[in-house]
Structure 1
């Protein structure tokens, strides 16, 4: 039997998060510190303190780290509420890439690494990055990893070029993917490393100008030059970076979908209000068939996306059914495309105001276009889905 009821305690927390985002966070959407490179670290810190005061900061963290440890299905409800504003996840400390990095570190990091690199992120005192993507190298295909790590038996010396590294400017906790060269001292292959962002050898060349503006400090281009790290900097096991990346990505794809479902629902609510109040040709525009059909299409899409997310989350919660990689790929591909259509229709309903900063809908639209590429473009997911089906 399938039960779609939301338990009372979960509904209460959802409503508390939605009210916090609506009352405390939404007013910051016009703050000048929300720049073309996303909210700056000062704005993030101020928002984080609001969530801390409200007792909602990093609610998704494991209980052993002071969080509420919701299941994936419970996260679907709560992250949607957080996403009502694109700044909501930033304030609540459940935004990418920190949310996915916290999940990975909670699964793989040892005790010392947890203390140094994970707990400060959970507490909202520092940010993190996942440095994998490279110009001409690792991206949708991480096997093309070009960044190298030479091991001399004591230290690893890392060299490479990374880009689209979200939040690189000012982040303290760095997870770096590099390929360890064959050596006589130990294992080799793609490996994850942990270090502080101010370690010698890490150079932020620039922050890229991109169409999205919801990630703290935007996306950086980073040069790694003779970055020397001790053997203790290895995260997990040598040679297991690609497996760990998938461990991180399956749930991270879904939390992206959850947050953007909240933003798309916000855009729909603004479009509905406008359709009720704006008149043209003798009546409110919502009474014209062209506009009413767009509103209906949006409502259908939002609910279908919600149900798809819940299904994939159920699969993850039933851990014996697999990793959720196949299911999360299907949902990411479907939801990212459908929510972009929702945002596009909302811009159309709003007309001229929809392409302005008078409402957040224009920003949601451009951010939603970028979402179709986050954690793998639709085409890569479809390719993986087809391979699974054809086996």
Structure 2
């Protein structure tokens, strides 16, 4: 296994970091003001055009074709770039590498017809529009996709959609043009063949944006939104793949996306550690700098160790997806999703403690980073689902081991026979 950054990745890391420092960080206050008002951010189109002009565009898609805009990178090559983008919550949009559009582009790239690619994929890849992925529902435990209740019923040359979705990222973004909706076309069929996915233009009659749900009193302008679908009719040609392919496509979508999420989270953790270190060197209590107190120096050391451990696991996972595919890397994908958000929460919590009351305020990014860490323990499946999957794979794998672990047990002589 070789996780060393290639020469191309090293060059791109420097260019992405320079772009972030020169063009994105100076705009943070303006973005917060404009996006917080629910408006289209006035400078976003200009920054996107500049990023594309500098070749920092669609960096996340290994299967990028020659005629498609962007720079083709493997998952391992892209991972450290996602880490840099994670330092500012909206930075990935500038490079057209933002969730959930990345996952939707991957879906359309793999499964869309030529007509669907032209109508929906091309505008996404050009950064002209945004999209949402509507899977989670309020009335069921959506971590088990077989529970989904939204119905997608065929009616001649159309499908009719009825259901309720929530925590749909991007649905409140002013540029969100369409949704990929997951629902059931065959509620009585095999558990993993009941679901299908269909493309729904946002302005279709019957699609209602109910609310943008605050998360811990934090309101994300792009939205964690609740949607209602009442007799929504779309052409049958909007079906993505075939009926019953929804579960399979959802699994295909999640592998690389979890690497992206986790690397951005590592970028957040790096920022929190940097802030903690700086604060610990400038603030005094009881006549000593904070870093001279043993507990805080321990926090700094533990944070560094935990970040490095998490990064290595995510890079291994990215490497495995590139080498053997997401299916073979499913244990590692589950592990990073359980490990990284908890690590981020621990590092941010320590940084907040070092900052004291200031760490709770909007004067630092720490409160937002803490909210992100807590939300990530639920987004893309709660920790418990991933832990259950990991344990199941360990138990299944134990049946194929040579010998027995009991051979390593040495009882006292008095119990030998």
TM-score (norm 1): 0.92
The aligned counterpart of 1:353 is 358
Match of 1:305 among 310, 315, 319: 310
| CA distance 1:386–1:214, shift in 2 (3 Å) | farther
1:31-42 alignment to 2 at 5 Å? 31=30, 33=32, 41-42=40-41
> Which residue in the other structure is 1:268 paired with?
273
2:151 is the alignment partner of 1:148: yes
Gaps of 5+ in 1: none
- The structural deviation recorded for 1:32 is 5.8
Whether the aligned pair in 1 keeps the contact of 2:143 and 2:385 (CA below 8 Å) is yes
Post-superposition Cα deviations, 1:74-105, rounded to whole Å, max 9, x if no partner, equal 11111111112222112222121111111121
* 3-state SS, counterpart of residue 239 of structure 1: coil
Give the Å deviation of 1:41. Answer: 3.5
Q: Specify the alignment match of 2:400 in structure 1.
A: none
Q: 1:125 aligns with which of 128, 134, 142?
A: 128
CA contact (8 A) 1:38 1:213 kept: no
Rg: which structure is higher?
2
Secondary structure of the residue that 2:41 maps to in structure 1? Answer: helix
Of structures 1 and 2, the one scoring higher in RCO (CA 8 A, sep 6+) is 1
Pick which of 19-28 and 120-129 moved more: 19-28
**What number of residue pairs does the alignment pair up?**
386
| Whole-Å separation in 1 of the counterparts to 2:391 and 2:52 | 44
Moved more, 173-182 or 331-340: 173-182
Quick check: 1:134–1:161 contact (8 Å CA) kept in 2?
A: yes
The reply to whether residue 232 of structure 1 matches residue 237 of structure 2 is: yes
Shift in alpha-carbon separation, 1:119–1:306, aligned structure 2, 3 A: same
Pick the aligned partner of 1:103 from 99, 103, 106: 106
SS in 2 for 1:85: coil
Gaps of 5+ in 2: 397-417
Deviation at 1:308, TM superposition (A): 0.5
Instruction: Write out per-residue CA displacement over residues 175-215 of structure 1, whole angstroms, 9 at most, x where no aligned residue.
Output: 011111479xxxx8210001311111211111111138695
Match of 2:180 in 1: 175
Deviations 1:101-149 (A, max 9, x none): 1112111112111111111112111111101111113521111111112
Change beyond 3 A, Cα 1:80–1:38: farther
CA RMSD of aligned residues (A): 2.2
The separation in 1 between residues aligned to 2:152 and 2:286, in whole angstroms, is 67
- Among candidates 113, 117, 132, match of residue 116 of structure 2: 113
